[in-house]
Structure 1
Amino acid sequence: MSEKKKQIPLRISSKLHEDIASWAEDEFRSINGQIEYLLTECVKWRKRGKKDMAGQSGDNT
């Protein structure tokens, strides 16, 4: 069974759209696929950062 995906409206500038479209073409993805990939990677990066920060003490001395 495939994962149910949410649909969201997204408004971006023409320049950002052009940049993402070019990047998507370079990586053989659709624009939607590229946006989903970038968001997924960003969330993974943020979660890793929080795990790294959780292991640190608050003392910077």
Structure 2
Amino acid sequence: MQKVFGFIREARAELKKVTWPGKQQVWYSTLVVIFVTLLVAVYLGIVDMALTGIFSRVIG
């Protein structure tokens, strides 16, 4: 049990050393993640439609 309490104590000490991002940095990072996700979704949608069209003509 002593090891568990020691681990928790060390973890809390390490978390105090962390430089947490500010509100603006979190907001910009969130926007970047949303933008990249939408970009990848559009790209994969286009590739999916193209491959569906190609395979439906070949098999079809």
TM-score with structure 2 setting the length: 0.49
Whose helix fraction is larger, Structure 1's or Structure 2's? 2
Larger Rg: 2
TM, length-normalised to structure 1: 0.48
Higher relative contact order structure (alpha carbons within 8 Å, sequence separation ≥ 6): 1
